[in-house]
Structure 1
Amino acid sequence: MSALCRLICRGLSGRSQTRLFSGQEDAFRVPVAVRTASSSSPVILTYDVFDGKGDSTPLVFLHGLFGSKSNFHSIAKSLVQRTGRKVLTVDARNHGSSPHNPLLTYEAMCNDLKHLLTQLRIDKCILIGHSMGGKTAMMTALMQPGLVERLVVVDISPSQTSSRTNFHQYINAMQEVKISSNIPRSTARRMAEDQLRSLVESRSLRQFLLTNLVEQNGHYSWRVNLEAISAHLDDIMGFPTFDSVFEGPTLFLGGASSAYISSDDYPEIQRLFPYADIQYIPDASHWIHADKPLDFISSIITFLQS
């Protein structure tokens, strides 16, 4: 175990705290134009802290495409209770309450994360990333191995994933949604889901996308930056080539009903992460933490204790 790492945001055990470094209100309430940063500099990510009583290395969760830090809130609370560790859940750029930016590459997202950890004086963490967040976590471990004590990659691999997704279709569907102003949120959600239904067949996926529907001054819009996502979708679906390796303990955790980690990916996983263990959770899809939260938590705890 590494030297102690303490978050600067402290609070009651298991209680969430949302902070921006600048001391602003939650960026969710700030117009998008104000939240747009220059493309070359790190953005100031929003995050939640679930503060445990222990002094062990904190856990940092990174969500997937179209997700947000709230995806892991229940998981984080459970891990605080069961491990005593502090847990951080983070909104990626162009997602959740974090600023919008025209650039959406893994290099940019890694720089954002490094900036966040530096500001919070976290010298070392345990990175847990799902899908897009898993690729950000892998790249961070490969580029900044000193920051990462252990790595958990959830249902993604260091390979091209575009052939397994319909994200272009989802983006087009979301961009075509038109919602009346000054109507109840429940009505707006039904209206948006009706319009998504023709291109997004899965109800659970529609509900997931609809978590990004927000209201401001009576007008409804998507909080994710669809333009940046669309422009960089090839970057998001791919993964940079690396000659370096991450020699820390690593867990690749796949859903048994998902095709995102296949046997074809094993050689590259073993090349880049020589101490990787690959496991699958039965009856779980790509969204393992939502399908099988107890199994997901147990797998992480077992990995932390190994």
Structure 2
Amino acid sequence: MLPCRVRLPPPAAAAARSVVTAVSLSHTEVGSGGARPPLVLLHGLFGSRNNLQSVANALVRRGCGRVLTPDARNHGCSPHSPVMSYEAMSLDVQHLLHRLRIPQCILLGHSMGGRTAMTLALQRPDLVERLISVDISPVSSAPVSEFSDYITAMKAVKIPDGVSRSAARQLADEQLRPVVQLPQIRQYLLTNLVDVQGRYVWRMNLEAISNHLADIMNFPVFHKPYPGPALFLGGSMSPYISSKDYPEIRRLFPKADVQYIEGAGHIVHQDKFEEFITAVLNFLPPP
């Protein structure tokens, strides 16, 4: 995991004065050149760019070209902000593309990143050659989500100062277990536990995420569809893309294809890595 400075959330008073402006996203980049537009990988709510780095490396090894993996605002090494919405996160990615002089990209987003990708495609279709939304749809996921419970459990974790990293992770894992029962989900959350001068804190801005969780669980209203190719790639064991979502998917993404990877849960790329990589490569335009 790359070192980065952890920036703690601003005070509540600052949130009231905030307007939606882009933040400068921290990102990594692998590969180069290629005839395809660059591929931008957007992580999920409790993730960071590190969670998708193995995906980026595998895609580059198989001829994908240039792949970027940014940290979303309030995640990883990117700045914290009291504003947390899909419109804001879309603006952040637009700012990154402009900064890197990328006129058009392919977007792949998991969960929250998938909705950010959808928002950007619907707002600025000229910037998005095609998109892949991994285990998320443009329909509210509040009825099936346990994210609120996860945030409450993470906020309640207490770790003594000065303990080793392994001991801190073990203590946090034990405290999360009653609420977050799946070991792979706990390990995913624990990637956000970092040491700041001998004190372990969550690298994510949990306060901003908690304050805007209702927005994150829903999707903005759009009326004009995205005209490009889209793939909605779900896990067969996950509830986040269901048949009841198909009408809204078709309305906003008329060229969408919906596929499921057998035996995968919500973190599709972790549960079925090879099958995931193959599905992504099969959807990319020919070089």
TM-score, normalised to structure 2, is 0.94
Aligned match for 1:86, one of 47, 56, 66: 66
Aligned match for 1:301, one of 278, 281, 285: 281
State whether residues 7 and 80 of structure 2, in contact with CA within 8 Å, keep that contact through their aligned partners in structure 1.
no
Question: How far apart are the structure 2 equivalents of 1:212 and 1:200?
Answer: 15
State whether residues 9 and 81 of structure 2, in contact with CA within 8 Å, keep that contact through their aligned partners in structure 1.
no
CA-CA distance at 1:52 after TM superposition: 3.0
* 2:54 counterpart residue number: 74
- Correspondences of 1:1-306 after superposition (within 5 Å): 28-29=4-5, 31-32=7-8, 39-305=19-285
- Residue 153 of structure 1 aligns to a residue whose secondary structure is strand
Letter in 2 for 1:139: T
State whether residues 52 and 81 of structure 1, in contact with CA within 8 Å, keep that contact through their aligned partners in structure 2.
no
State whether residues 133 and 233 of structure 2, in contact with CA within 8 Å, keep that contact through their aligned partners in structure 1.
yes
Deviations 1:56-75 (A, max 9, x none): 21100000111000111111
Question: How far apart are the structure 2 equivalents of 1:299 and 1:205?
Answer: 23
Question: How far apart are the structure 2 equivalents of 1:299 and 1:184?
Answer: 40
Letter in 2 for 1:144: R
Change (3 A) 1:145 1:305: closer
Give the root-mean-square deviation of aligned CA atoms: 1.8
Change (3 A) 1:242 1:150: same
Letter in 2 for 1:252: F
Question: How far apart are the structure 2 equivalents of 1:289 and 1:31?
Answer: 28
State whether residues 53 and 84 of structure 1, in contact with CA within 8 Å, keep that contact through their aligned partners in structure 2.
no
Question: How far apart are the structure 2 equivalents of 1:84 and 1:231?
Answer: 38
State whether residues 6 and 77 of structure 2, in contact with CA within 8 Å, keep that contact through their aligned partners in structure 1.
no
Question: How far apart are the structure 2 equivalents of 1:165 and 1:51?
Answer: 35
| Aligned residues between the structures | 281
* 1:9 counterpart residue number: none
Q: Structure 2: 5+ residue runs without aligned partners? A: none
Letter in 2 for 1:159: V
Question: How far apart are the structure 2 equivalents of 1:258 and 1:210?
Answer: 21
Q: Percent identity?
A: 53
Letter in 2 for 1:291: D
* 1:13 counterpart residue number: none
Change (3 A) 1:223 1:145: same
Question: How far apart are the structure 2 equivalents of 1:138 and 1:61?
Answer: 13
- Residue 265 of structure 1 aligns to a residue whose secondary structure is helix
CA-CA distance at 1:33 after TM superposition: 6.5
Moved more, 39-48 or 114-123: 39-48
Question: How far apart are the structure 2 equivalents of 1:61 and 1:33?
Answer: 25
Question: How far apart are the structure 1 equivalents of 2:120 and 2:73?
Answer: 15
Letter in 2 for 1:49: E
State whether residues 59 and 277 of structure 2, in contact with CA within 8 Å, keep that contact through their aligned partners in structure 1.
yes
Question: How far apart are the structure 2 equivalents of 1:211 and 1:53?
Answer: 31
CA-CA distance at 1:276 after TM superposition: 0.6
Q: Structure 1: 5+ residue runs without aligned partners? A: 1-15, 19-25
Letter in 2 for 1:220: Y
* 1:21 counterpart residue number: none
- Residue 221 of structure 1 aligns to a residue whose secondary structure is strand
TM-score, normalised to structure 1, is 0.88
Letter in 1 for 2:276: F
State whether residues 83 and 301 of structure 1, in contact with CA within 8 Å, keep that contact through their aligned partners in structure 2.
no
CA-CA distance at 1:305 after TM superposition: 3.9
Deviations 1:125-147 (A, max 9, x none): 00000100000000100000000
